[in-house]
């Protein structure tokens, strides 16, 4: 997670704004003709703009600390610098989101969820925050909360990815009727043909398969759980027709005999 130029600019702008507010009520210096003169041709516009804005020294220190720590793979120090930046800029949601991602990427899912919830308390419709919270709950095994969050995402976006997650989580919670409905809706979407998901192949190595294959297999598993082996067999055979080496469908088909 590198500190982006846009992110730095946001902090510079925030710092400049704070300095401007601190001087509220003081008369601004009179503009001179020289101030309206454009920079000389040999001066880069970007550099001229940077020179015209003064960033708070403390913010600049934390930015350098964060960037240097990341460059040297010292993530504990980088995290501390990120917290320092948040303390100095508590209203900056981008910083808080970066912290949530920081925790998530290091598999500290409980922390990523808590930080993500802070963002959702500010904006319940924040899709990046919903995604990181949903995935965090899923990795923690808190299936019902993960499903609730993916449902919120689906209501906002109507995306295939959210519905796919919902279908499997509904199955895990033994809400088979809902899982079947979600799977049937997925099978009507053209995206399931072009979107790939990863499962282990016959050699136990990760391989990409069309999402449709996994959904067909899920549909069969639902019928198997409902005790309808003939219907389940048909779904598994459809999955194997699309991907003969799809191990989950092959294993599930054996259960219908």
Q: In the structure, how many helices (H) and strands (E) does the chain have?
A: 14, 2
> What local confidence, expressed as pLDDT, does residue 143 receive?
97
159 is a domain residue: no
* Range 173-179, long-range pairs (CB < 8 A, 24+ positions): 173/143, 173/144, 173/147, 174/225, 176/222, 176/225, 176/226, 179/218, 179/222
Distance separating alpha carbons of residues 222 and 180, to the nearest angstrom: 7
> 118-159: per-residue pLDDT in tens?
999 999 999 999 999 999 999 999 999 999 999 999 999 999
230 is a domain residue: yes
182 is a domain residue: yes
> What local confidence, expressed as pLDDT, does residue 54 receive?
59
> 33-43: per-residue pLDDT in tens?
333 334 434 44
- Identify whether the C-beta of residue 218 lies closer than 8 Å to the C-beta of residue 199: no
The angle at the Cα of 89, spanning 88 to 93, to the nearest 5 degrees, equals 150
Positions in the chain whose pLDDT score sits under 50: 1-9, 11-12, 14-16, 18-53
74 is a domain residue: no
- Identify whether the C-beta of residue 211 lies closer than 8 Å to the C-beta of residue 231: no
123 is a domain residue: no
This prediction's pTM = 0.76
Q: List Cβ neighbours of 23 (8 Å cut-off, separation of 6 or more).
A: none
Task: Give the bridge partners for 197, in sequence order.
Answer: 209
* Range of the structural domain that residue 191 is part of: 174-257
194 is a domain residue: yes
H/E stretch holding 197 reads: strand 196-200
What is the count of structural domains for the chain? Answer: 1
Can you state the percent helix, strand and coil of the chain, rounding each to 5?
Answer: 70, 5, 25
231 is a domain residue: yes
For residue 192, give the CATH number of its domain: 1.25.40
226 is a domain residue: yes
């Amino acid at each position: 997670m590198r500190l982006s130029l846009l992110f730095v600019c946001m902090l510079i702008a925030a710092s400049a704004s704070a300095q401007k507010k601190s001087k509220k009520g003081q008369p601004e210096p009179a503009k001179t003709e020289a101030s309206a003169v454009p920079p000389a041709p040999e001066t880069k516009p970007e550099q001229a703009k940077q020179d015209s804005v003064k960033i708070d020294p403390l913010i600049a220190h934390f930015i350098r600390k964060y960037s240097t720590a990341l460059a040297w793979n010292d993530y504990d120090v980088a995290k501390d610098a990120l917290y320092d930046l948040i303390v100095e800029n508590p209203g900056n949601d981008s910083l808080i989101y970066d912290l949530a991602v920081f925790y998530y990427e290091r598999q500290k899912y409980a922390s990523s969820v808590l930080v993500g919830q802070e963002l959702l308390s500010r904006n319940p419709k924040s899709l990046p925050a919903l995604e990181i919270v949903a995935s965090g709950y899923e990795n923690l095994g808190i299936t019902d909360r993960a499903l609730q969050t993916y449902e919120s995402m689906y209501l906002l976006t109507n995306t295939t990815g959210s519905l796919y997650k919902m279908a499997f989580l509904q199955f895990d919670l033994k809400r088979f009727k809902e899982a079947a409905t979600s799977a049937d809706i997925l099978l009507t979407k053209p995206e399931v043909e072009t979107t790939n998901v990863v499962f282990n192949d016959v050699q136990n190595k990760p391989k990409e398969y069309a999402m449709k294959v996994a959904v067909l297999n899920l549909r069969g598993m639902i019928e198997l759980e409902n005790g309808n082996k003939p219907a389940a067999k048909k779904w598994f055979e459809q999955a194997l027709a699309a991907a003969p080496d799809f191990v989950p469908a092959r294993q599930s088909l054996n259960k219908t005999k």
